[in-house]
Amino acid sequence: MPLLVMKFGGTSVADLDRIANAAQKVQREVERGYDVIVIVSAMSGKTNELVGWVEKTSPLYDAREYDAVVSSGENVTAGLMALRLQEMGVPARSWQGWQVPINTTSAHGSARFIDIPRANMDAKFAEGFKVAVVAGFQGLSAEGRITTLGRGGSDTTAVAFAAAFGAERCDIYTDVDGVYTTDPRITSKARKLDKIAFEEMLELASLGAKVLQTRSVELAMRYKVRLRVLSSFEDTDETSGTLVCDEDEIMESKVVSGVAYSRDEAKMTLVKVEDRPGIAAAIFGPLAEAGVNVDMIVQNISELDDPADKRAYTDMTFSLPTNQVERAKKAIEEATAAGKFAYAKLVTDTDVAKISVVGIGMRSQVGVAAKMFAALAAENVNIKVITTSEIKISVLIDRKYMELAVQALHDTFELEKA
């Protein structure tokens, strides 16, 4: 029997009516001849509520008990979904992470998959059950404790099950009807993509696109799991949504597939750092240990070179999330006090945004960067930092120009055209 994995996010199961709506979509796939594994999130807002309860009860909480509480939201949804399917005449059973079992590492709050044995669930399908409703976001450690996978963990759960069970496809149902060339709230010209390559989706997810969680796309790319992003609130068929697939399934790729943005970015520059072997490690090692998520890094010859000083100096610029600036400052101060490096001054800009163009077609097309920079120049948008990869070009600009830049680049690369 062919098998399909279907994942429903929090907004898709926000109340009993929406659970019933999702169950109808599952029933339709059963009627088409599939066995179905359904992965569910907690009802919309429930995880935040549970986290709040934990933090009010115990500000310095035990991570094991945090996972025990926070994972319960998915358990409720799984049980309700199974009950609804049973009422509709569909043989269904709910599964919590420990019952499968979903074996994970012991990193509570950010666990990673080890394996998903098939025997228990295969036995139930053999008995005649058509649907297994699995609580997403959770697993079981070697110590026998419930673990959680971090935010967005239900997407990752769905992909992991699709890989483990050799599913024909993994359908991700959410509150949007697919992956768009950019955020439709910024430009009405944004177009829904029929297909997008794993690598492009991974770049867009890591750059701020909220449609899929980055870890889920990484896993899908590694195990060649075909993903389809669909709306829970629209009637769908085999052609609906956006298919995330291997590059070989896409006949002809546009040079640029999408424009992504990240609003809450900051830029920090360490001015006049001694330019010597190991200086980058001395700076970014303490930042990593402090949990600072450094992204773009640029190193330049320092303008404060003193001709009388025979040593070479460099300026080190990097970007990071705005909410991690204070943590970064503290890490830099502590590293400096410990004698790991010295600098003349620290310049911080918390009013920047990151804009990126992404496309596998860049591999074989020259002039994309020049075209991007010319488009921004035409709108009088100044570029502060540039980084590139094989299929991506990212720039930091003043945040006030973010929407203008997205619109200009979307128009320049004619992304509204199929």
End-to-end CA distance of the chain: 36
Contact 103, 139 (CB under 8 A): yes
Q: What is the pLDDT of residue 206?
A: 79
CA distance 126 to 98: 20
CA distance 96 to 100: 7
CA distance 247 to 251: 8
Annotated binding site: 7-10, 47, 74, 174-175, 180, 185, 210-211
DSSP for 67-103 reads HHHHTHHHHHHHHHHHHHHHHTT--EEEE-GGGTT-E
Contact 138, 102 (CB under 8 A): yes
CA distance 92 to 398: 52
Q: Which CATH number fits domain 3-175: 3.40.1160.10, 3.90.1150.10, 3.40.47.10, 3.30.1330.20?
A: 3.40.1160.10
Domain boundaries, the chain: 3-175, 259-412
Q: Which two tokens stand for residue 65?
A: 């008990």
Q: What is the pLDDT of residue 303?
A: 66
CA distance 229 to 11: 14
What single letter denotes the amino acid at residue 120?
Answer: N
Q: Do domains 3-175 and 259-412 have the same CATH topology?
A: no
Q: How far is CA 346 from CA 224, 315, 327, 342, 359, in A?
A: 44, 10, 14, 11, 35
What single letter denotes the amino acid at residue 334?
Answer: E
Q: What is the pLDDT of residue 211?
A: 79
CA distance 221 to 241: 19
Q: What is the sign, positive or negative, of the torsion defined by CA atoms of 386, 389, 390, 393?
A: negative
**Which tens digits make up the pLDDT trace of 27-69?**
999 999 999 999 999 999 999 999 999 999 999 999 999 999 9
> Tens place of pLDDT for every residue, the chain, 418 residues?
799 999 999 999 999 999 999 999 999 999 999 999 999 999 999 999 999 999 999 999 999 999 999 999 999 999 999 999 999 999 999 999 999 999 999 999 999 999 999 999 999 999 999 999 999 999 999 999 999 998 778 999 999 999 999 999 999 999 888 999 999 899 999 999 999 999 999 888 877 667 788 889 999 999 999 999 999 998 877 778 999 999 888 876 789 999 999 998 999 999 999 888 999 999 999 999 999 999 999 988 776 556 666 678 899 999 999 999 999 999 999 999 999 999 999 999 999 999 999 999 888 888 999 999 999 999 999 999 999 988 999 999 999 999 999 999 999 999 998 7
Q: Which two tokens stand for residue 171?
A: 């359908």
Q: How far is CA 330 from CA 271, 289, 291, 407, in A?
A: 17, 12, 12, 37
pTM of the model: 0.84
Contact 10, 107 (CB under 8 A): no
| Sequence-ordered list of residues with C-beta below 8 angstroms from that of 119, at least 6 positions apart, any chain | none
DSSP alpha helix (H) spans, 9-62: 16-31, 46-57
CA distance 209 to 15: 26
| Sequence-ordered list of residues with C-beta below 8 angstroms from that of 19, at least 6 positions apart, any chain | 13, 77, 80, 81, 84
What single letter denotes the amino acid at residue 268?
Answer: M
The CATH fold of domain 259-412: VC0802-like (3.30.2130)
**Which tens digits make up the pLDDT trace of 278-300?**
999 999 999 999 999 999 999 88
Taking every pair of Cα atoms in the chain, the longest distance, rounded to a whole number of angstroms, is 85
Q: Which two tokens stand for residue 135?
A: 């609580």
CA distance 167 to 34: 10
Give the residue from 316, 301, 409 showing the smallest Cα distance to 354.
409
Annotated binding site for ATP: 7-10, 174-175, 180, 185, 210-211
Annotated binding site for substrate: 47, 74
Q: What is the pLDDT of residue 363?
A: 86
